[in-house]
A and B are shown apart, each in its own frame.
Chain A
Amino acid sequence: MRAENYEPKQHPPSHEYELNFGPNHPGIEGNYALKVKLHGDTVVSARADAGYLHRGFEKLMEQRLWIQNIALVPRICVPDPSPMEVAYSMAVEQLCGLDVPERAQWLRVMQLEMSRITAHLFYFGGHAATTGMYNPMFWGVADRDLVLDLFEELTGGRVYCIYNMPGGVRRDIPEGFLDRLSRLLDYLESRLPEYDNLFFTNHVLINRAKGTGQMSQHQALEWAVTGPNLRATGLQCDVRRDDPYLVYDELEFDIPVEQGGDALARTLVRRSELQQSIRILRQIIQRLPSIKGPIRAPIPNPLAWNVPAGEAYVRLESSKGELGWYVVSNGGQKPYRVHVRGPSSMHAVQVLENLAKGSRLEDVAQIMFSLDACPPEVDR
């Protein structure tokens, strides 16, 4: 519903008023609205309003050939598109019983972790901005761009890589890529103390974020919170470890947790995750040269694919939490049904509505950003 069409159902009591928070708001990743009822500047209740980014991806996917969807799927989540294409490809591979060459699996993990870094850098910037600090936002976006430069070299695209297809990946790494990646990781690591100074140990942030949007572990489990948001409540839970896919079981990494369950804890978890992603990428840089072989299983002419009837549910740990892809084939040339479970479907609706309740208006944006709630994922 557009703001001008909105009519409150009943006239609110005079000491309460309604406010449309969004759909255009700098504190939101993409267009999204939260209708908040306020008493003073305290939120009495909040109601999420999505649909501003609804592109009908699930319907569109039913109308396209299996191969054509590879160009569509990354667009479901703008800040972290790569897990989408990997998940879709994995689902089709499971349906076809296609074995993916080992090298392709390593390249996919590399892409996923690079993507996680871009998403987290973007997140830091966003979270800083919602607490009134714009410098970390510029830094986050600028540093993210350096990773995008490498994506451009590797995949030909900066944000929407379209790097995966059922069977494997489309191109091998270009010459000297691992060296450049290694140098970038060094650089990013050297930047962390600077981020710490400006942001993570900033008294202003800590004061604003501590206790904001706090949820208990019990609540988190009840609301199906996943990913860093769940880990910020002290539970060591990660799809990469619990339900390993690709080659994650061959990699060493920690699952950082915090106990606070608030915006600060969520941000600190992501900061540690960035370090873990760097650690994973360092291992890949070491291992990848010794993993020979093709980057794609032989696949038939993409204009003539009949994927065997069946279904597959693929789970992935995206930067925002548990990503689920349910793909159904009726044996035809196009998917019969694709259902995307974006982690934000939970975080941006039920969780946000609940956490916003009782908070101060100026914290709403921070709560939403600290959940890393991504509206395009909700709308699909």
Chain B
Amino acid sequence: MEKPIHMEYLLNELANIKVRNERQRRMRLDVPSKELPAVLELLKGRAGFMHLSAISCVDWIDENQFELVYHLWSNQVSTLVSAHTRIERDPGVYLSVYDLYKPAAFWERDIHEMYGVFFEGSPDMEKFILTEWDGPPPMRKEFDSEAWVNDHFDWQNYRPDWLQEIEQEGGGIAILPDEQRFSRKAEE
């Protein structure tokens, strides 16, 4: 789909922004972190991007960056804009867009809890889902939840009769589930 004309105009006003229009009704903007609030304001004010669908955070640990993605929908131009911006993983602080979009409060609180990114100006950075969790923000890539589970829980040790019979015949457990798991292997 071609971009509606006034989106063209609008985007022309914005310097330093990469625009990609890969799929129907989807548009990706790559925005420097300093300019993102201004871009959102412009989109909301001038092209009807009233609806903040979600804010996603992606941990690009190898590049030592967090990517924040603001998904905005406008009924006026029937397009979903995904505005991408990157911030440094350390200290992991960014500006809240709560003033523009009320729903941002939930997403920013969620990202703070799961990734440890602090949003300045967000109304509420308190714990929400992980009330009793004292560990590191779990969605960060360096947190190995499977290792944590293996440290804290045991595998059920079944000893059914049939297994004991097979063991008497010289057989028995040959390959444990974890040894062959492909999802585990894919990491190696």
Contact = CB atoms under 8 A, between A and B. Distances in A.
Interface of A: 1-2, 5, 48-51, 54, 56, 58-60, 63-65, 68, 94, 221-224, 226, 237, 242-243, 303, 311-313, 315, 322, 324, 326, 328, 332-334, 336-337, 339, 341, 345-346, 349-350, 378-379
B132 A1 contact: yes
B106 interface: yes
B105 interface: yes
Interface in B78-117: 78, 80, 82, 101-103, 105-106, 110, 114
Contact of B78 (A54, A64, A243, A334): A243
Contacts of A59: 138-139, 145
Interface of B: 23, 25-26, 28, 50-54, 56-59, 69, 71, 73, 75, 78, 80, 82, 101-103, 105-106, 110, 114, 128-132, 138-139, 145-146, 182-183, 186
A333 B186 contact: yes
Contacts of A378: 129
Contacts of B28: 311
Contacts of B103: 223-224, 346, 350
A224 B102 contact: yes
Given A313-B26, A322-B53, A242 B75 contact: yes
Nearest to B50: A221
11 contacts: A49-B128, A49-B131, A59-B138, A63-B146, A224-B52, A311-B28, A326-B54, A326-B69, A328-B58, A341-B53, A350-B103
Q: What 7 A-B pairs come out closest when comparing CB atoms?
A: A341-B54, A224-B103, A339-B56, A51-B129, A333-B186, A1-B131, A337-B58
B128 A50 contact: yes
A334 B186 contact: yes
A153 to B, nearest CB: 31
Contacts of A64: 183
A324 B23 contact: no
A324 B71 contact: yes
Contacts of B78: 242-243
Contacts of A51: 128-132
Contacts of A65: 182-183, 186
B182 A224 contact: no
B22 to A, nearest CB: 8
A54 B182 CA distance: 25
A224 B51 contact: yes
A294 B28 CA distance: 33
Contact of B56 (A221, A337, A345, A379): A337
Contacts of B26: 313
Given A59-B145, A224-B52, A324-B54, 17 more contacts: A1-B131, A56-B138, A56-B145, A63-B183, A65-B182, A222-B102, A243-B73, A313-B26, A326-B56, A333-B182, A334-B186, A341-B71, A345-B54, A345-B106, A346-B106, A349-B106, A350-B105
A324 B105 CA distance: 17
Contacts of A349: 106
Contacts of A242: 75, 78
Contact of A224 (B25, B56, B59, B101): B101
A346 B73 CA distance: 15
B53 A223 contact: no
A21 B110 CA distance: 22
A341 B72 CA distance: 12
A313 B50 contact: no
A221 B51 contact: yes
B105 A339 contact: no
A326 B82 CA distance: 10
Contacts of A346: 103, 106
Contacts of B132: 1-2, 5, 51
